[in-house]
Amino acid sequence: MPTRPTPSTPPAPLVLHYTVRSCPQGQLLVAATGQGIAAVLLGDDKASLVQELAQRYPQAQLETGGTPLHHWSDEVLVALAHPAQAHHLPLDVVGGTDFQRRVWAALQRIPGGQTCTYTQLAQALGQPRAVRAVASACAANPVAVLVLCHRVLRSDGGLGGYRWGLARKQQLLAQEAA
């Protein structure tokens, strides 16, 4: 996952261009730097998505629109409609701990249409006792529909959690299974 080598707090000044689009899962916010997509958020209304972006990046200067954001947001909508297919969008994930970044990289190695458990993911990272930390890293994933954390389930096969709501997680898993 191409990302900036940054500490866990995003640097300032950071300019994020964003757009909010409608999608089958509600509203989709895509935010990007000039280098790539920094955040993809799902929600029910534009105002709460913009507020969440501002809370996630309190040092950032937020601006609407910008090139090539419109094209990238079109591609994110395609990725959302076809989550089992690989995407080739540039990512510029700002922030995250080293452990979170390792989890996010591991999520990208889960093949389309397949799932794994939080326990399996922790074991794959060589930290079998870090199951809760893996779940927390999944919840902190800023580009959730591009780094597909919905593919991670509880050990008993249950859905577990999903930052964007269990109904959206079920919908994405069903799309991949179809």
Q: How far is CA 144 from CA 41, 46, 156, in A?
A: 7, 17, 23
Q: Which of 23, 116, 138, 149 is catalytic?
A: 149
| Phi-psi map region of 135: left, alpha, beta (phi>0 left; psi -120 to 50 alpha) | alpha
- How many CA atoms within 13 Å lie on the side-chain side of 25? 29
Active site residue 116: no
Kindly write down the DSSP assignment for every residue of 82-143, as one continuous string: -TTS-----B-B----HHHHHHHHHHTTSPTT--EEHHHHHHHTT-TT-HHHHHHHHHH-TB
Give just the sign of the alpha carbon dihedral 149, 154, 158, 164: negative
Alpha carbon 46 to chain centroid, angstroms: 17
Q: Give, for 41, the enclosing helix (H) or strand (E).
A: strand 37-43
The residues annotated as belonging to the active site are: 149
